[in-house]
């Protein structure tokens, strides 16, 4: 509307009031307030704001037509109800206060809700002012109310959105923070405070370099610079941050650029994820995978070693058997007798190697009994002292009330000897060898991070030295057969491999801890036995000068079978033999021969030795049997533990071994 149009509208309104119109306002006759109301009515016909005029008697003199558009009520209805009835009940108290305030000459500004005819609430922004005449006297009240419902809804939505995102920020596990372009923190959430160990007030204004090492600060600067230059988000994969308490954590960060309303960079927004536990879990997983690979490798080497030892033992059985037979037919002054002894010495040395291979591969034959480990160690101390020499000091720290274990006594002695020798060789200039025992309970948590360990009660044997120690590369191979750090000819590399095999054969666990220059500690865990008491050693009965009876030898290796038959016949037995288990079975099916003992190999083609004896038992209950093998898995349960009452002879064997075993088997000893 132009100024001219506006003037005409005012003139028209003034004429309608019955007053003369003067062109010059400078000479105009003063208008009354209510004359002005008539003019206001004309000017505000099309206004969306609602304007009320009241006289000092609080009577409504005028309201703009927009009242109906806002509330749905007619203007006439205003004269029938008190104005307070059009407001939300929750706003009535403040409205009455404002009403009295403005009639006492004071302005009021505020917000309240109209209740429309359709019972909807509409928010209004109110400006209530005293209405003054030209002399400054209050003659009424003017109310101006603007519909701000949409604005209020937008504000509410914004507040709800802010509250939602604030809740997310304050409850999320990831740290969230903002920095200005100088790298000072301007906002941090609760998670960031927890991650770094600072309070919110400590954080604000602090520079990011305070929580980073020099290297990390350099990486962060490079990332922020990249984000600033490109405007693109950046990911910092893995870096270390320093908490307030000095501890170090690993973080994964996403950084984005913050711009102001004009589009200019003003800072950085960062999402920080603490990946310390994940890295620790990954490292633990990698460690377990390495343990698994090592266990699989040791298992494979063990199977190979056991197979080699088995075949090797067959050959040694023949060599040692015929050495015994030759010795029986030579006098000690025969010029060849010395040569035979050298052959025997070499064969016995080879037998010792295969014995260690079998121990490593867990195929050695054992007879475990209830054992007091403290007592055994105490009884072995003198032997160990002689073994390690005068330059080394031996200390034994037994725990009181040590639990019993079920273990082969000779194997435990072998473990102690092998570990003592290993310690001696690691301390050529002297040192201390310490042996300790403990009662240990392994729980699920410990076993989860130690592959192959099982929860339960264990007796712990700890053997420590303060020698040269070992590095990681050496530790990775320390239990492998034939691995040695000694000079050529100074060791077989089977000592620790034997210890490993013995422990595993007895369902135990072994760990080794070592660092170069800081010594080595072996920790062996042997399952607790609930059996009471130690078994006393039995004294052997003297053997008769010769054997009597008929023995059937079942062996698929021709040389071993021939050697065994010859030895038995020299001892005095009548022999039958076959390399076929089915033919051996036929001897009993025909029933035409009395057989006092069956000596059978364990592993044979077509039928195992155990199956053969089981089938013979069905024909002749109570048949006497003696099993022989380079190693066995059939007559031995639980990785080599002899079943009660089973007779076994380990290849290679001497004629005296065979004499004793055959006699014991025939006589059920």
The model's confidence at residue 664, banded by pLDDT at 50, 70 and 90, is confident
Residue whose C-alpha is closest to residue 561's, from 348, 317, 334, 377:
317
Domains 31-151 and 172-274 share a fold: yes
CATH top-level class of 31-151? alpha beta
Contact 441, 402 (CB under 8 A): no
Convert the pLDDT of each residue in 220-251 to its tens digit: 888 888 989 898 888 876 778 888 888 888 88
- Give the torsion sign (CA, 462, 466, 472, 478): negative
In sequence order, what E strands does 148-247 have?
175-180, 185-188, 234-242
Element of type H or E holding 407: strand 405-407
Q: What percent of the chain clears pLDDT 90, i.e. is strictly above it?
A: 13
**Among the ranges given (295-304, 385-394, 535-544), the one the predictor scored with the smallest mean pLDDT:** 535-544
The model's confidence at residue 607, banded by pLDDT at 50, 70 and 90, is confident
User: What's the pLDDT at 288?
Assistant: 67
How many Å apart are CA 314 and CA 321, to the nearest integer? 11
Contact 496, 524 (CB under 8 A): no
Mean pLDDT in residue range 294-307: 56
How many Å apart are CA 451 and CA 296, to the nearest integer? 11
Count Cα atoms within 13 angstroms, Cβ side, for 190: 8
Mean pLDDT in residue range 36-54: 68
Angle between helices 558-571 and 655-666 (to 10 degrees): 70
Q: What is the DSSP letter of 282?
A: H
The model's confidence at residue 13, banded by pLDDT at 50, 70 and 90, is very low
Greater pLDDT, 310 or 523: 523
Convert the pLDDT of each residue in 164-183 to its tens digit: 767 677 767 788 889 999 99
For domain 172-274, the CATH architecture is 2-Layer Sandwich (3.30)
Convert the pLDDT of each residue in 82-99 to its tens digit: 778 888 889 888 888 999
How many Å apart are CA 494 and CA 334, to the nearest integer? 37
The model's confidence at residue 352, banded by pLDDT at 50, 70 and 90, is low
User: What's the pLDDT at 533?
Assistant: 52
Domain extent listing, the chain: 31-151, 172-274, 369-527, 550-666
Domain 550-666, what fold?
Answer: Rossmann fold (3.40.50)
Mean pLDDT in residue range 490-517: 78
Residue whose C-alpha is closest to residue 101's, from 372, 42, 93:
93
Element of type H or E holding 255: strand 248-259
User: What's the pLDDT at 127?
Assistant: 93
Is the model's pLDDT at 199 over the cut of 70? yes
Is the model's pLDDT at 2 over the cut of 60? no
User: What's the pLDDT at 573?
Assistant: 92
The model's confidence at residue 299, banded by pLDDT at 50, 70 and 90, is low
The model's confidence at residue 361, banded by pLDDT at 50, 70 and 90, is very low
The model's confidence at residue 645, banded by pLDDT at 50, 70 and 90, is low
Using DSSP's 3-state secondary structure scheme, residue 451 falls into coil
How big, in percent rounded to 5, are the helix, strand and coil portions of the chain?
A: 45, 25, 30
DSSP codes joined into one string, 220-249: HHHHHHHHHHH---EEEEEEEEE-TTS-EE
Domain 369-527, what fold?
Answer: Heat Shock Protein 90 (3.30.565)
Residue whose C-alpha is closest to residue 91's, from 58, 56, 62, 125:
125
Convert the pLDDT of each residue in 617-639 to its tens digit: 888 888 899 988 765 443 344 33
Is the model's pLDDT at 435 over the cut of 80? yes
Element of type H or E holding 63: strand 60-63
Contacts of 81 (CB under 8 A, 6+ apart): none
User: What's the pLDDT at 27?
Assistant: 36
Contacts of 411 (CB under 8 A, 6+ apart): 359, 364, 366, 502, 505, 506
Is the model's pLDDT at 443 over the cut of 50? yes
What are 608's two structure tokens? 């195992």
């Amino acid at each position: 509307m132009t100024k001219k149009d506006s003037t005409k509208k005012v003139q028209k309104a003034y004429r309608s009031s019955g007053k003369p119109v003067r062109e010059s306002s400078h000479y105009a006759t003063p208008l009354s307030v209510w004359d002005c109301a008539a003019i206001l009515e004309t000017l505000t016909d099309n206004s969306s704001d609602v304007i009320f005029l009241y006289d000092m008697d609080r009577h409504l003199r005028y309201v703009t037509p927009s009242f109906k558009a806002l509330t749905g009520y007619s203007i006439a209805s205003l004269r029938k109800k008190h104005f307070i009835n059009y407001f939300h009940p929750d706003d009535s108290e403040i409205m009455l206060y404002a009403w009295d305030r403005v009639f006492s000459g004071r302005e009021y500004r505020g917000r309240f809700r109209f209740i429309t005819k359709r019972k909807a609430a509409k928010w209004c922004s109110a400006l209530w002012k005293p209405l003054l005449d030209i002399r400054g006297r209050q003659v009424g009240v003017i109310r101006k109310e603007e519909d701000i419902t949409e604005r209020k809804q937008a504000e509410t939505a914004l507040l709800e959105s802010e509250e939602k995102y604030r809740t997310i920020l304050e409850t999320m596990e990831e740290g969230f923070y903002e920095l200005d372009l100088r790298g000072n923190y301007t906002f941090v959430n609760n998670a960031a405070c927890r991650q770094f160990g600072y309070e919110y007030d400590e954080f604000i204004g602090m520079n990011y370099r305070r929580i980073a090492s020099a290297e990390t600060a350099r990486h962060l600067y490079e990332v922020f610079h990249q984000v600033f230059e490109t405007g693109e988000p950046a990911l910092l994969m893995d870096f270390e941050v320093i908490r307030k308490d000095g501890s170090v954590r690993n973080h994964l960060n996403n950084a984005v650029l913050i711009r102001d309303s004009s589009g200019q960079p003003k800072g950085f927004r960062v999402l920080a994820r603490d990946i310390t536990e994940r890295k620790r879990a990954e490292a633990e997983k990698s460690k377990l995978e390495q343990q698994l690979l090592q266990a699989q490798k040791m298992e494979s080497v063990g199977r190979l070693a056991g197979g080699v030892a088995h075949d090797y033992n067959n050959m040694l059985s023949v060599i040692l058997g015929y050495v015994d037979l030759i010795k029986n037919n030579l006098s000690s002054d025969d010029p060849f007798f010395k040569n035979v002894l050298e052959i025997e010495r070499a064969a016995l040395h080879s037998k010792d190697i295969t014995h260690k291979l079998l121990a490593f591969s867990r195929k050695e034959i054992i007879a475990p009994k209830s054992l007091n480990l403290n007592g055994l160690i105490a009884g072995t101390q003198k032997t160990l002292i002689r073994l390690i020499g005068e330059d080394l000091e031996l200390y034994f720290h037994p725990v009181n009330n040590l639990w019993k274990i079920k273990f082969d006594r000779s194997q435990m002695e072998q473990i102690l000897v092998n570990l003592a020798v290993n310690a001696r060789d690691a301390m050529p200039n002297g040192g201390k060898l310490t042996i300790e025992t403990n009662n240990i309970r392994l729980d699920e948590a410990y076993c989860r991070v130690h592959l192959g360990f099982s929860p339960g009660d264990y007796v712990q044997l700890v053997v420590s030295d303060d020698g040269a120690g070992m590095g990681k590369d050496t530790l990775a191979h320390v239990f492998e057969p034939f691995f040695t750090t000694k000079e050529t000819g100074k060791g077989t590399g089977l000592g620790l491999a034997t210890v490993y095999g013995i422990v595993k054969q007895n369902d135990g666990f072994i760990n080794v801890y070592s660092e170069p220059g800081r010594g080595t500690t072996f920790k062996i865990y042997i399952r607790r036995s609930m059996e009471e008491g130690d078994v006393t050693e039995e004294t052997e009965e003297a053997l008769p000068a010769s054997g009597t009876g008929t023995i059937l030898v079942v062996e698929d290796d021709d040389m071993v079978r021939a050697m065994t038959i010859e030895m038995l016949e020299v001892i005095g037995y009548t022999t039958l033999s076959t390399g076929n288990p089915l033919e051996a079975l036929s001897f009993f099916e025909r029933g035409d021969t009395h057989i006092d003992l069956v000596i059978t190999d364990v592993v044979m083609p077509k039928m195992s030795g155990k199956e053969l004896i089981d089938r013979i038992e069905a024909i002749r209950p109570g048949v006497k049997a003696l099993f022989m093998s380079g190693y066995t898995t059939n007559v031995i349960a639980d990785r080599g533990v002899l079943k009660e009452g089973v007779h076994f002879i380990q290849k290679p064997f001497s004629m005296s071994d065979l004499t004793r075993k055959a006699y014991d088997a025939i006589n059920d000893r």
